[in-house]
Copies of this chain bind each other. A is one copy, B any other.
């Protein structure tokens, strides 16, 4: 029972097919004889982390309940070189042609996120920091994109606004200060939720820890500043978790990891990953 078997994901995929197919694939219907069978091969046209095999399966199974599923030559999450045929799929030729674009659109995007995530995960290898994603996902695709992040070896931050308390500058201002915001949140949210607070400087950090924040997000600090804040925070409460955030990229991320934070959130994992180049070549059989 994984999230892909979830009814919502399947109904989303059916909607994606409807978006692309509309009233029918008039090219295929008017040129391809019914009943002809074919086989398609998934080819990586650049180095990439394979992601979305089950999702692509679902695309074709919605079109043809008898679809046998992709015969995968690698595992979800494997890094493959350019030129690798990583899977094949048999089926009615018209089904393969009609489903191709949606399957590829999903897989190319998910593989793009997984590939980028892997690079970030590798960049901090050997440190104690974990890379986490953000809520800067494509509207409608959050579950798929957060899954791709984990396939690439990173972790997930909140899945939504109901999935954790993260008090930011605006909340602090409106609540009347960090202490008030934290105590109000502690009073009102369920006992299973921790409290995270975003801070900009040492004064805020100290107030947050004193007020009982479980996690503190150091926003837009240099690695050097972050290192100092980490040291001072740990001095106050060795159990507090520390997260660095703000404009991370592959060049800078390791220096934050080495500053001693526990978590580094990276928006570009999902908002700006490039689609990987994957093709699906069909032959009749």
Contacts and interface: CB of A to CB of B under 8 A. Distances in A.
Contacts of A63: 1
Q: Which of A6, A13, A62 has most B Cβ within 10 Å?
A: A6
Contact of A30 (B143, B185, B194): B185
Given A31-B181, A174-B36, A157 B190 contact: yes
A69 interface: no
Contacts of A135: 20, 101, 105
Contacts of A243: 191
B163 A162 contact: yes
A126 interface: no
Interface string A10-48: 001111101111111111111111101010000000000
Contact-size category for A: 35 or more
A214 B214 CA distance: 12
Contact of A164 (B6, B93, B142, B193): B193
A216 to B, nearest CB: 12
Given A28-B161, A31-B184, A193-B194, A274 B272 contact: yes
A188 to B, nearest CB: 4
Number of this chain's copies in the assembly equals: 6
Given A162-B21, A192-B165, A271-B108, A185 B31 contact: yes
Nearest to A7: B14
A277 to B, nearest CB: 9
Contact of A23 (B97, B137, B162, B272): B162
Contacts of A174: 31-33, 36, 38, 93, 97, 284
Contact of A31 (B138, B162, B167): B167
A215 B165 CA distance: 18
17 contacts: A13-B139, A16-B140, A19-B142, A20-B139, A21-B160, A22-B159, A31-B172, A31-B181, A32-B175, A98-B161, A104-B136, A105-B136, A138-B138, A138-B141, A157-B192, A191-B215, A272-B275
The 9 closest A-B pairs by CB, nearest first: A164-B192, A22-B162, A16-B139, A30-B188, A25-B161, A271-B275, A22-B160, A140-B140, A31-B175
Interface of A: 1-3, 6-8, 12-16, 18-34, 36, 38, 62-64, 92-95, 97-98, 101-102, 104-106, 108-109, 112, 132, 135-143, 155-168, 170-175, 181, 184-185, 187-194, 196, 214-215, 241, 243, 262-263, 268, 271-272, 274-275, 282-284
